[in-house]
Structure 1
Amino acid sequence: MSTQRKTLVLGGTVYLSQAIAKHAVARGHHVTVASRGSSGEPPEGVEFVRLDRSTGEGLDALRGKEFDAVFDVARLPALIGPVLDALADNAGHWSFVSTISVYKHFDVVSDELHEPTAADSTDPALEVYGASKIACENLVRERLGDKALITRPGLIVGPGDRNDRLGYWPLRFAEGGEVLVPGPKERPVQWIDVDDYAAWLLDAAEAQVSGTMDAIGAPLGFGAFLDGIADALIEHGVLTERPNLTWTPQEFLLEQGVNPWAGPDSFGMWVPTPDYDGHQSRPTDQAVAAGFRASPLGDTVKRWWDANAGAPRLKAGLSRKKEGEVLAAWHDEPVDADLAELDAKRAFAVPKPETPAYDG
């Protein structure tokens, strides 16, 4: 008689950790979600445990319990040690989500790492994000050994992304008209679908996969990336024809105040070339050998559309007003004064990015 698999997700209320919990519930696992409960609601079907991992006492609710698999996405080294002390000895497998921001060089593919922060660091600054994750990796590796899988994702995209790096493009294409896009077309872009990632991490835990590896899909040129989004929207019945794209040089866009990555006045998924080409061309062979399979871009786009387009609230990208100003400057024409009204219709709201550049 089989025993129900016991899975612990530290976090479990936001984005990737929430997706892991949902997928585990769908597989019939007994899922425990443990967090402060301040960032979101746990998924249906889980056992929720409120904890404060910054203190030993805050972990008492889990201390001594056995789990077949533990998943952790923490970014502060000081929060790793107490969890390992409480849980590592009774965990069958430990999956830690790191980031490709651990790599020192952005412009070339290199495995040279940042120097880690101190193991007790509580510094949340983005400037030490990669270094903090290395310190977290080291703590997990030292304590769990061959029971630990450490994965380094690039951009994680899909429903639930609070930076909405993918979402700008399908929504903007659906609005029609002239669409400003960043050249050059061949600049690489790379991502991992949040559902693909969650499913793979669960598979890897069940198979007892260990080691350290990048978690990312194969890179694609930006032109092919936008073509894939358009194709998916046409197949999904959202568009009847391809969007009218105006390719502009990255130097012009930067001069006009268009920002990379996410947040206000940005193009999601876009970073300048060649400055970031290395981080957008990471190797995929280790993850593939360990069982990772990436969904076609069209499937990722359709999942995002179905989850968000009914009540779109754009959380990253250019406002239509800003896009109109840049297009007017490119064509040396007057600005269309009516574009600001379109922002109100699309419920445009771009907060400061909530998570670091590479993972969610």
Structure 2
Amino acid sequence: MLGGSVFLSQAVAADAVRRGHEVTCANRGTSGPVPDGARLVVWDRAQPAPGELSDDFEAVVDVGRYPSWTRTAVAAFPSAHWVFVSTVNVYSDESTPGGRPGTLPLRDALHEDVDLAVDMEAYGPMKVACEQIVRSGAASATVIRPGLIVGPGDPSGRFTYWPSRMADGGTVLAPGRPEDSTQVIDVHDLATWIVDAAEVRLVGDYDGVGRTTTMSAVLSEVAAGCDAEVELVWVPQDFLTEQGVEPWAGPDSLPLWLPRPEYDGMTAHDATPSYDAGLVTRPVADTARETLAWLRATPDAKVTGISREREAELLAAWAGR
């Protein structure tokens, strides 16, 4: 496991340990602990692989984003089956619903490392380059392109906003239209499928996304999972934009909301090939329940999105328009 100490990579390593695999987590040793039962080898991929990382691993899972990291690692483990965790951001068309690998154009590959703090738009193109490096250098490979990964341990705080908000009950601002599409995937479901792919040496490109659903269905399931009594008030995107509310993520955002129609396809991928290849996902209500429990047990867990005061101001402005 290249990583193993944060969110998805930690969940993958923990799942593999539970199955009885010998798991080595190779990372810089600065992001947090690896799961009990896994071995940590400190490796900064700007350097050659240390001696204890010999080429005798049956499988490698890589969540890296920089082409140089992936290039170095593939060269270190050329005989292993590779599961590369990419992203749906590799697709250049984010407006067409129902796309799947092989049907949507990809962004142009960017083979140089770019600091994402300087240029976030480089993320997808660098992942395209990483995919190419894996396919050309690994013995065999699975490429999995997740969308929004959610659940306990989420360092982004995006989905986490909704269990936190729903648990408070009352009148809740729901962004956009009830029928707007959305897709989420529980971190543990994705991790399980990744380990499955490594075990059977699954070959091919797949989207790591849940089934397409609606914002109304997801928010209702989150409320149910949190045992919350809420009233959803749907506020259109034009009004939210006028009020300076940001989409998707960030302190001034309503998470999961995306502008339409330009992002109609980003959260409406056809996940049929992934389910046919063994992906199994749980109800969003279960994820919400587990996320809320993690939030309550983790005081410093990140939750991003507008404040309750800002939400009340927006609801009052919408009611008085």
Regarding TM over 0.5, the answer is yes
Are residues 1:294 and 2:281 paired?
Answer: yes
Q: Residue 129 of structure 1: which of 99, 104, 123 is its match?
A: 123
Cα distance change, pair 209–170 in 1 and its aligned pair in 2 (3 A): same
Which of 48, 70, 82 pairs up with 1:94?
82
Deviation at 1:306, TM superposition (A): 2.0
Select between 214-223 and 312-321 the one with higher mean Cα deviation: 312-321
Tell me the residue number matched to 1:350. Answer: none
Q: Is 1:37 matched up with 2:24?
A: no
Q: Which amino acid aligns with 1:216?
A: V
Residues 98/233 of structure 1: CA separation in 2 closer, same or farther (3 Å cut): same
Q: Percent identity?
A: 42
Aligned partners of 1:63 and 1:243: how far apart in 2?
52
Q: Secondary structure of 2:15's partner?
A: helix
- The more displaced of 61-70 and 290-299 is 61-70
Larger Cα Rg: Structure 1 or Structure 2? 1
Residue number in structure 2 paired with 1:343: none
1:265-284 aligned at under 5 Å gives the runs 265-284=252-271
TM-score, length basis structure 1: 0.83
CA contact (8 A) 2:186 2:287 kept: yes
By how many angstroms is 1:160 displaced? Answer: 1.1
Distance 1:224 1:263, change over 3 A: same
Post-superposition CA distance 1:228-273 (Å, at most 9, x none) = 1122222xxxx3xx30221111110111111111111111111122
In structure 1, stretches of 5+ residues that fail to align are 1-8, 334-360
Report the Cα distance in structure 1 between the residues aligned to 2:170 and 2:278, rounded to whole angstroms.
41
Per mean C-alpha deviation after superposition, the further-off stretch among 94-103 and 268-277 is: 268-277
Question: Which whole-Å CA distance do the structure 2 matches of 1:209 and 1:288 have between them?
Answer: 13
Are 1:21 and 2:9 matched, yes or no? no
Alpha-carbon deviation of 1:324? 1.8
Tell me the equivalent position of 2:185: 192
User: Which 5+ residue runs of structure 2 have no aligned equivalent?
Assistant: none
* Aligned twin of 2:133: 139
Q: Which moved more, 1:196-205 or 1:242-251?
A: 242-251
CA deviation after TM superposition for structure 1 residue 283, in Å: 0.9
Q: Tell me the SS of whatever aligns to 2:64.
A: coil
- Give SS of 1:70's match: strand
In the aligned structure 2, how far is the partner of 1:55 from the partner of 1:317? 38
Q: Which has the higher contact order (CA 8 A, sep 6+)?
A: 2
Determine whether 1:257 maps to 2:244.
Answer: yes
Is contact 1:53-1:83 (8 Å) kept? yes
Partner in structure 1 of residue 71 of structure 2: 81
Q: Partners of 1:133 and 1:310 in 2: how far apart?
A: 34
Structure 1 residues 166 and 207, CA, compared in 2 at 3 Å: closer, same or farther?
same
Letter in 1 for 2:310: K
Report how many residues are paired: 313
Aligned amino acid, residue 143 of structure 1? G
- Shifted more, 94-103 versus 201-210: the winner is 201-210
Choose which of 219, 227, 231 in structure 1 pairs with 2:224. 231
CA distance in 1, matches of 2:241, 2:226: 29
Measured against aligned partners, the alpha-carbon deviations of 1:171-196 in whole angstroms (never above 9, x if no partner) come to 11111232111121000011111000
Question: Partners in 2 of 1:276 and 1:21 — Cα distance?
Answer: 33
Normalising by structure 2, what TM-score?
A: 0.93
Alpha-carbon offset, residue 115 of structure 1? 0.6
Give the letter aligned to residue 123 of structure 2: Y
Which 4+ residue blocks in structure 1 deviate beyond 6 angstroms? Answer: none
Q: Which residue identity does 2:220 align to in structure 1?
A: D
2:57 to 46, 62, 67: 67
The SS at the match of 2:25 is: strand
- 1:107 paired residue number: 95
Q: Is the 8 A contact 1:76 1:123 kept in 2?
A: no
> Conserved in 1, the CA contact under 8 Å of 2:114 and 2:122?
no
Measure how far apart 1:200 and its partner are: 0.6
- Which residue type is aligned with residue 247 of structure 1? W
Q: What is the SS of the residue equivalent to 1:30?
A: coil
1:53 paired residue among 32, 40, 45: 45
Equivalent position amino acid for 2:44 in 1: D
- Is structure 2 residue 317 aligned with structure 1 residue 323? no
- Distance in structure 2 (CA, Å) of the matches to 1:98 and 1:159: 21
- Distance in 2, matches of 1:217 and 1:55, equals 36
CA distance in 1, matches of 2:106, 2:126: 11
CA deviation after TM superposition for structure 1 residue 63, in Å: 4.2
Query: Cα distance, 1:314 vs. partner?
Result: 4.9
Work out the CA distance in 1 between the residues paired with 2:8 and 2:78: 22
Q: What is the alpha-carbon distance in structure 2 between the residues aligned to residue 295 and residue 99 of structure 1?
A: 21
CA separation in 1, counterparts of 2:148 and 2:83? 18
